[in-house]
Amino acid sequence: MNIFDDDDFMVTTPRENFISIIKTANENIVANELEKMVARLALAEKLLEENGLEEQYEKTLPSFALAEPKEYENRVNSLFIETVGNIVTQCE
């Protein structure tokens, strides 16, 4: 017998939880966190360019999930969890 509801945090994936939270949380907080995420990506791209790694990034990106699926999954899940944590703590 499953003691958790289907919507329960413990039975959803980090991605599913992220989608659920951004749909129901305060829109301004979600927007701010998404802007922070995009700013982080922009900085990462700038650092790649400055260090001559953008070509290596473009070659590696498509195969990353296939070559190292566990690390890829862990990194993606970590970003979802971090963002959800940031949103939820501000909505309390």
In a domain, 3, yes or no: no
Domain housing 78:
26-91
The residue-averaged pLDDT of 38-64 equals 95
Say what the pTM is: 0.79
First-residue to last-residue Cα distance in the chain = 32
DSSP string covering 17-70, please? HHHHHHHHS-HHHHHHHHHHHHHHHHHHHHHHHHTT-HHHHHHHHHHHHHHSHH
pLDDT at 1 over 80: no
Q: For residue 8, what pLDDT band results from cuts at 50, 70 and 90? A: low
Q: For residue 92, what pLDDT band results from cuts at 50, 70 and 90? A: confident
Report pLDDT for 11.
80
Least confident of 6-10, 44-48, 61-65: 6-10
Across the chain, mean pLDDT equals 90
Report the domain count for the chain.
1
In a domain, 63, yes or no: yes
In a domain, 12, yes or no: no
> pLDDT digits over 33-47, tens only?
999 999 999 999 999
In a domain, 8, yes or no: no
